[in-house]
Amino acid sequence: MEKNTQEATPPTTTAGKIIRCKAAICRNPGEALVVEEIEVEPPKAWEVRLKILCTSLCHSDVTFWKMKPGAVSAFPRILGHEAVGVVESVGEKVEGWREGERALPVFAPDCEDCRDCRSAKSNMCASFGRRGMVGFGMLRDGTSRFRDGSTGEVLHHFLGVSSFSEYTVVDVVNLVKIGVDIPVDKACLLSCGVSTGVGAAWKAAEVEEGSTVAIFGLGAVGLAVAEGARMRGASKIIGVDLNADKFELGKQFGLTDFINPTTIGDKRVSEVIKEMTDGGADYCFECIGLASLMAEAFSSSREGWGKTVIVGIEMHGSPLVVSPYEIIRGRSICGTYFGGLKPKTHISLLAKKYLDKELNLDPFITHEVGLKDINRAFELLAEGQSLRCLIWMDGCK
């Protein structure tokens, strides 16, 4: 069912003041999130405070939820990075934003000014790109805008977004304008996973009409790759996954063939793909984050011009081993960050493609819960039942 495209008008009396609201806090790795009252400070220079309308659970949230404290993990923390919200107030030096505007917070910074942001060759912001991935606070000063509502304890940020909260503070380089013509729930999807997958097929691989594609891992990102390949006119889109139910689901996004590695006997997946594609897929995508699957995807690509795109993030420290001989013979391999998209330029294009009925977003939303039931979203993802579970803030649905 379509959600109301008109969000509630944010309060104007809270600008410059601390806001008390509810947030789902991750206090220890792997433990259930607790919904408690927190304090959200006003935005400082170059920052915007958002009222979150809805957010969703991504595999990256789960990865960091499980991760022990270390260089890129700290607790207590407010997770969440795929969301849509409304500007509640803006800090000093913020230009081009005003109260009441709808916005997408995006983990990938886009300052539009550094060498990389001005180049068509990259979407890796040279000024802020690494800080958001490894920091626990705001991009520019590293401090937190969150405090525990009872104890005053500092709560850490996540990927520059922290959307599992009714209010959050985001740097302007992590904020993208989104029109009110696209429904709130569909807009939320463009904040991370769907954009990453579609972008991987469109920008990173540049899939051509009539080409063959193999996708390893059919979660939301993998199926978004399939959708991107379908939009680009691929003639054969092969999905590889252990969950046989993903084939029927994937057909909605253009999947034409399916391989379950447990049902092919002694054959390797790459052998089956080569048989299905007369020598190997033109484009292969690894969307899970396992070095062994990255190597298998590379082996599944066609000799001479096959291209493998790494979308999943390897979090186990395993090296990727490929034969230099195979590279010399024409196969190539590359990685992609946020699908190669520049958030402030390309997200609006994807929104338009949805409104023009070119981009299929509706089937990605498989479940919806309220913030108080956020742990159910984690359960559904762990059970393999969910692509995207939307988490609605009170009064916003």
Q: What is the residue-wise DSSP string for 170-236?
A: EEGGGEEE--TTS-HHHHHHTTTHHHHHHHIIIIIS-PPTT-EEEEE--SHHHHHHHHHHHHTT-SE
Round to whole Å and give the CA distance between 80 and 30: 15
pLDDT at 12: 60
pLDDT at 129: 82
> Do 22 and 165 contact (CB within 8 A), yes or no?
yes
pLDDT at 3: 47
Q: Helix 374-382 to helix 59-66 angle, to the nearest 10 degrees? A: 100
Quick check: pTM over 0.75? yes
Which ranges of the chain have pLDDT less than 50?
1-10
Q: What is the largest distance, in Å, between two alpha-carbon atoms of the chain?
A: 67
pLDDT at 338: 96
Round to whole Å and give the CA distance between 320 and 289: 11
pLDDT at 5: 46
pLDDT at 1: 40
> Do 71 and 134 contact (CB within 8 A), yes or no?
yes
pLDDT at 8: 47
Cβ atoms within 10 Å of 4's Cβ, excluding its own: 12
